[in-house]
Chain A
């Protein structure tokens, strides 16, 4: 009897980070549920459908993207908005999501609410995205494309030469591949600005 009480009282007396066993169990299960719900919600915002649920995206950049090889191609592999614009790994992804919450503020302000306003802001938005991609060594591009995985013999002469030069110089994908899924707004840059953006990454 004494030993039964001892076990029960022992269990009742146990504390995990100051919580009782029951409390800890509730916290543990609650944590899993919260974590799952959080990630599910985050993943729900990480889809093409979510991105184009705002007319700003659907009417502008989406319409440009559907005409490109990243939307339709020979093999049917599709890269959607988050594949290029949201990091895959959790740490960088959450940082990007927090940063992107600023877009809600501009949604309320109507900063890019019309095609005219969108185009007026297009270059500055593109510049931010090019800088983000450059700073990560085109991490999102490299989720699918790598220099190691390329077979130069299967590339066109121009691509082969450009990739050889880029590798030699330590350039990254976004240095050259601007405007491949959206309007070629980089054509509005001066040569000096473009040269700065194409500078090889210091390794």
Chain B
């Protein structure tokens, strides 16, 4: 029995070593992060502020600036992200299920570098205390993963993403949002997978109609025909999505958002993450041009809109902290400037 356990442990260790080696190999080379400039931003707790909510005047005082003046979310809110997060996390505003003690914001340090064929990124943020979520058994919505870190990338092909970042994909009828459809109604949707019991992220472009003002808001069940979605994917109308999950020794996922969130483990971007003292450090490598559907082709000299999200303290769904729209410039200007190494 003991011998079996020993072999199992040795086997697991060998697998971990191989995976670790694979990660290093995928990275291609080691980046000297000390030489890379650091960008600082604040991720905030967004509550139920959806794509529809931000465009409705009675809900959001800045709706007119966004819809009529073409302002970016960051243009008004970048300097007050922490204050906003505090209001939502405490339940003072648009959060009907506050988690007692939840931090309202997370300071995030980001570094980025690139070479001929790869983008390298490094994310660092303080690990937070545990606060039991009242809506989850044992207080943990995702017991397997202490943290998850995700990033979406747009190259200007998704209408609202350059100004609103992730909000282009966050809707009033998604999981745990105010107009989320009941589970028994989910079967009505054609062309999306609702087997998880909820609607995931989607782009307005993937729907025949999205109700911004009239309840129920959103357009989860108004999915365009598959042929049209296929054309959009081919034409680049999607948000590239990569994600790191801290459980099971660290899982890297790659995918995209169009009609729904598509994520597959080990299919592109490679992450590594660990706690260093009181901080989480997560690094990522990704091919500039993977040639895979759902991956944006990144080019030196261009800037891309990115949004970063962190699920801390075993949270899931909308109970995350998010960044406003940011620019990732590859050798060019942006809040996050990737330098060539």
Name A residues whose Cβ lies closer than 8 Å to a Cβ of B. Answer: 156-158, 161-162, 165, 169, 176, 186-192, 194-195, 198
* A194 engages B79 (CB within 8 Å): no
A162 in complex: contacting residue of B65, B78, B80, B213, CB < 8 Å = B65
Does B11 belong to the interface (CB within 8 Å)? no
The verdict on B16 contacting chain A, using a C-beta distance below 8 Å, is no
> Closest B-chain residue to A162, C-beta based?
B65
| A–B pairs, 15, beta carbons within 8 Å | A156-B80, A157-B75, A157-B76, A157-B78, A157-B80, A158-B62, A161-B75, A162-B62, A162-B76, A165-B71, A186-B58, A189-B57, A190-B213, A191-B56, A191-B213
Chain B residues with CB under 8 Å of A198's CB are 57, 64
CB-based contact B69/A165 at 8 Å: yes
CB distance from B105 to the nearest CB of A (A): 16
Contact mask for chain B residues 98-113; partner A; CB cutoff 8 A; 1 contact, 0 none: 0000000000000000
User: Would you call B57 and A157 a contact (CB within 8 A)?
Assistant: no
Q: Smallest Cβ distance from B46 to chain A, in angstroms?
A: 16
Which of B57, B69, B71, B79 is in CB contact (< 8 Å) with A191? B57
**Top 7 closest A-B pairs, CB basis?**
A194-B57, A158-B76, A157-B79, A191-B213, A187-B58, A161-B76, A191-B57
Nearest chain-B residue to A187 (Cβ)? B58
Decide yes or no whether B61 CB sits under 8 A from chain A.
yes
Distance A156 CA – B79 CA, assembled complex (angstroms)? 8
Which B residues from 49 to 74 make CB contacts under 8 A with A? 56-59, 61-65, 69, 71
- Residue contact A191 to B58, C-beta cutoff 8 Å: yes
Nearest chain A CB to B88 CB, angstrom units: 16
Asked whether B77 is an interface residue with its Cβ less than 8 Å from the other chain, the reply is yes
A165, A190, A195 pick with most chain B CB within 10 angstroms: A165
Instruction: List chain B residues, Cβ under 8 A from A176.
Output: 61
Contact A194-B65, Cβ < 8 Å, known A157-B77, A157-B79, A165-B71? no
A176 to B76, CA, bound (A): 15
Chain A proximity of B146: nearest CB distance (Å): 33
Q: Shortest beta-carbon distance, B204 to chain A, in Å?
A: 17
Tell me whether A190 and B58 are in contact (CB under 8 A). yes
Residues in chain A near residue B64, CB distance under 8 A: 165, 195, 198
A189 touching B75, Cβ below 8 Å: no
CA distance A162 to B60 in the complex (A): 13
Given contacts A158-B76, A198-B64, contact A188 B71 (CB under 8 A): no
Contacts A165-B69, A165-B71 hold; do A188 and B58 have CB atoms under 8 A apart?
yes
Closest A-chain residue to B74, C-beta based? Answer: A157
Q: Give chain B residues whose Cβ lies under 8 Å from the Cβ of A190.
A: 58, 213
Most buried by A among B59, B63, B75, B76: B76
A187–B56 Cα distance when bound, in Å, is: 10
Shortest CB-to-CB span from A173 to chain B, Å, is 13
* B-chain residues with CB within 8 Å of residue A156 when the two chains form the complex: 79-80
Contacts of B79 in A (CB 8 A): 156-157
Q: How far is the CA of A142 from the CA of B57 in the complex (A)?
A: 24
A192: chain B residues within 8 A (beta carbon): 213
- Shortest CB-to-CB span from A72 to chain B, Å, is 20
| Least distance between A53 CB and chain B CB atoms (Å) | 34
A189, B57: Cα distance in complex, Å = 9
Considering only CB atoms, which chain B residue lies closest to A171 in the complex?
Answer: B64
B157 CB to nearest A CB, Å:
26
Is B213 in contact with A165, judged by CB distance below 8 angstroms?
no
Task: Kindly state the separation between the CA atoms of A191 and B59 in the bound complex, as whole angstroms.
Answer: 9
Considering only residues 162-213 of chain B, those with a C-beta below 8 Å from chain A are: 212-213
Report B-chain residues with C-beta under 8 Å of the C-beta of A169. 69
The answer to whether A165 and B58 touch across the interface, beta carbons within 8 angstroms, is no
